[in-house]
Structure 1
């Protein structure tokens, strides 16, 4: 039961036991501390209970029901996100044809997803990859022994097969508690260092 409902129930109890509105508010402050409802709300509910209101929960609000956060749209967005977690709210809005607010509500409240950015994790070479690089260098030295006499060299250069993305480009939709995505920086297999 929420604290608001508990406070309303307490007010109803005080009204039935003929405790004054002011004393009821003091008791609520003592019991609920900083989460206590305002004095005006307390007196409004005290008056409602005194007039005979029995229910302490909110009455249903009249109004138009939401058609954009129905099961059909929730399932469509779920399918799209499972296909491609990199879709942005704007992409989903354009594909599904509902408002950005509705897409955000579906992602957050219905699917329990949030946008998280990928972390950059440098990739260390294991012993097999290190050995392969040494083998490639030795092969190049043996294959180009006579040509090497005519080549002027500089210091070694590395070519990375990594296309950096911005934080927004690498952000994915993830459920709460799911690990963050990782961008691995990996040297190209074609890179040579001798």
Structure 2
């Protein structure tokens, strides 16, 4: 009778044979997500600007108001530019054994979630998403909240199809 140690194998993996995620062609998200991001930023800008107008009207801190206005305009100008740059970098790819999600332009981030680690998949839409005809696909994993991903700005039909494709792999096939 052979011992357990005689049958144990732990072969070295050839790193060159592993698939390269850098070569994957990512699918972009809907341009309507940029409209949503800019709308939300614009609403916040108007809220901050109304506070500035209130200070100006009541002449509170008048010596600092021009500097504050310049700071507000620069900050929100950067935020609108940031929304545009982020929109260009968002992407996802579904492969045979995993799903990839890319985001970020200054600090690029690609999250790779093996399909066997996915525990739950959900599609979410808020009121603005319904107006803009977009959805978010949320993927929950066994690795905890740090490995969960949410892909925003998907067409609702595409989000539903991706959810079904991923959910079909969650249940083992009965042969």
Structure number with the higher strand fraction is 2
TM over 0.5: no
Higher relative contact order (CA 8 A, sep 6+): 1
**TM-score of the pair, normalised by structure 2:** 0.27
TM-score by length of 1: 0.25
Name the larger-Rg structure: 1
